[in-house]
Structure 1
Amino acid sequence: MLNPVITKETLQFLNELKKNNTREWFTEHKKTFKVHEANAKAFFNGLLERLKSHDEIEKLKVFRIYRDVRFSKDKTPYKFNFSASYSRAGAHRRGGYYVHIQPEGSFIATGFWAPEKEDLFRIRKEWEIDASELRTIIDKKEFKSVWGEMAGEELKTSPKGFNKEDPNIDLIRKKQFIFVKNFTDKEVIAPDFAEKINDDFKAIRPYFDLMSSVLTTNLNGESLLD
């Protein structure tokens, strides 16, 4: 199995790009960028092979370094990170993985970033009925030691049609259902970083299995995929 690593030099280049975020500087250093981009892509592909050992992955997407500035007040043309996402295969496998490499800002994330309206309603109705299975999974010591608390945007009050006094309102008012883990630069350049990420992503599986079951059945537990 491939074992490419993120190098100290790659992080240094991203730092320089942050400080010199202009087209002129980038053009002058594009050959160097290409070397570090190839290294990052090799890392993401090496992680892909690891993920495939315990999950079905449909697609790896490596994000471009170029920023879309059309609707942004920040007109700097380049990101100063390398990032990638991994989509799970099949309608019965929900959730996804994300990796973000950035000097003093590297992290991984997993879960459900932007559920469609129907999926969001289905999730909220599930927690309205019973959230005990979810809480059992995410409150386990082994799970929390890796992923901590559930993150993501949430409403300040209850969604329309839901009781603000519901005992599970802390879950119901969420708009995203994600988990995030941060890493130091020292951890990022360690030779076992890809293996560490893979182990962390493996730990999310019970959560994915539950959420996939919820999103592929109706409230009676009948499959929506038949």
Structure 2
Amino acid sequence: MISTDTFKFLSDLQKNNSREWFQANKERYEEAYANVFDFAGELIKALSKADTGVDASLEPKKCMMRIYRDIRFSKDKTPYKTHFAIGRLTRHKSVEIGYYLQIEPGNKSFIAGGYWMPQGEHIKAIRQEIDYNAADLTAIIDKPEFKKDFGEFRDQEKLKTLPKGYDADNEHIDLLKLKSFIAYHELTDNEMQKAGITGRIAFLCEQIHPLNVFLNNAID
């Protein structure tokens, strides 16, 4: 579970996002990092049982994102992210397809999976797969439990015009117009601090897994 101290550190960082404050609170950061590191290790083991693409021996540090922001090309010059993130968990062909966990105070934590904003040949391949095998995708996203945990998959951001090569009367035009193919579930601070939360997140990822398989098959 994520500790109260970890959430308190991140909350304080949101209010004091400077190098001076961070250096003065480096010990608190290291304790928070260790907490998330341990959490990531537990999550990796739990996920490996639900998805063979997750290696149970994966080192947590390889899937933990840096807290330091790249501010070179950003108008926002605050030096630190105000959340911890865990990603790069799978061994699939595309590193963009997998699971992503964000840990952020204020009930802003979430688990997500799928493919965010594919471009170029990938978006073309995914749309082609939908056109040929939409039944495989709808069998995943229209399950009552999937909708209960992730909402309506078709409600993601869409193209305002038709995708090239597809007609308005295509039976699955609502899916073909999607810009992203993401399953997303919010997690409260209270949930993240409860025993058994790794099991809950692993269960959510188990539901996302068939979506990831569909997307990987599309671009393979």
Normalised to the residue count of structure 2, the TM-score between the two structures is: 0.88
| Distance (whole Å) between structure 2 residues aligned to residue 92 and residue 62 of structure 1 | 18
Q: Please tell me whether the aligned partners of residues 94 and 212 of structure 1 are also in contact (alpha carbons under 8 angstroms).
A: no
| Distance (whole Å) between structure 1 residues aligned to residue 197 and residue 89 of structure 2 | 20
Query: Greater shift after overlay, 182-191 or 93-102?
Result: 93-102
Query: How far apart are 1:93 and its partner, in Å?
Result: 10
Query: Greater shift after overlay, 137-146 or 29-38?
Result: 137-146
Structure 2 counterpart of 1:32, from 28, 31, 47? 28
Cα–Cα, structure 1 residues 29 and 192, in superposed 2: closer, same or farther, change >3 Å? same
Pairing 1:20–2:16 present: yes
Query: How far apart are 1:189 and its partner, in Å?
Result: 0.6
Matched residue type, 1:87: L
Normalised to the residue count of structure 1, the TM-score between the two structures is: 0.85
Matched residue type, 1:9: D
| Distance (whole Å) between structure 2 residues aligned to residue 92 and residue 24 of structure 1 | 38
Instruction: Name the % identity.
Output: 38
Structure 1 counterpart of 2:208, from 204, 208, 212? 204
Q: Please tell me whether the aligned partners of residues 99 and 111 of structure 2 are also in contact (alpha carbons under 8 angstroms).
A: yes
Unaligned runs of 5+ in 2: none
Which SS does the other structure have where 2:102 is aligned? Answer: strand
Cα–Cα, structure 1 residues 195 and 140, in superposed 2: closer, same or farther, change >3 Å? same
Q: Please tell me whether the aligned partners of residues 65 and 80 of structure 1 are also in contact (alpha carbons under 8 angstroms).
A: yes
Cα–Cα, structure 1 residues 79 and 91, in superposed 2: closer, same or farther, change >3 Å? closer
Equivalent residue runs for 1:1-226 within 5 Å: 5-55=1-51, 56-57=53-54, 60-91=62-93, 95-104=97-106, 105-150=108-153, 152-216=156-220
| Distance (whole Å) between structure 2 residues aligned to residue 90 and residue 82 of structure 1 | 23
- Structure exhibiting the larger radius of gyration computed from Cα positions: 1
Query: How far apart are 1:116 and its partner, in Å?
Result: 4.4
Which SS does the other structure have where 1:181 is aligned? Answer: strand
Query: How far apart are 1:133 and its partner, in Å?
Result: 2.5
Query: Greater shift after overlay, 189-198 or 118-127?
Result: 118-127
Structure number with higher strand proportion: 1
Cα–Cα, structure 1 residues 23 and 172, in superposed 2: closer, same or farther, change >3 Å? same
Which SS does the other structure have where 2:50 is aligned? Answer: coil
- Backbone CA RMSD of aligned residues: 2.1
Matched residue type, 1:146: D
Q: Please tell me whether the aligned partners of residues 46 and 194 of structure 1 are also in contact (alpha carbons under 8 angstroms).
A: yes
Query: How far apart are 1:65 and its partner, in Å?
Result: 0.9
Unaligned runs of 5+ in 1: 217-226
Matched residue type, 2:42: G
Query: How far apart are 1:97 and its partner, in Å?
Result: 0.5
Which SS does the other structure have where 1:187 is aligned? Answer: helix
- CA offsets 1:48-93 (integer angstroms, 9 cap, x no match): 1111123222564211111111111111111110101033224499
Structure number with higher helix proportion: 2
Which SS does the other structure have where 1:136 is aligned? Answer: helix
Paired residues, number: 212
Query: How far apart are 1:21 and its partner, in Å?
Result: 0.7
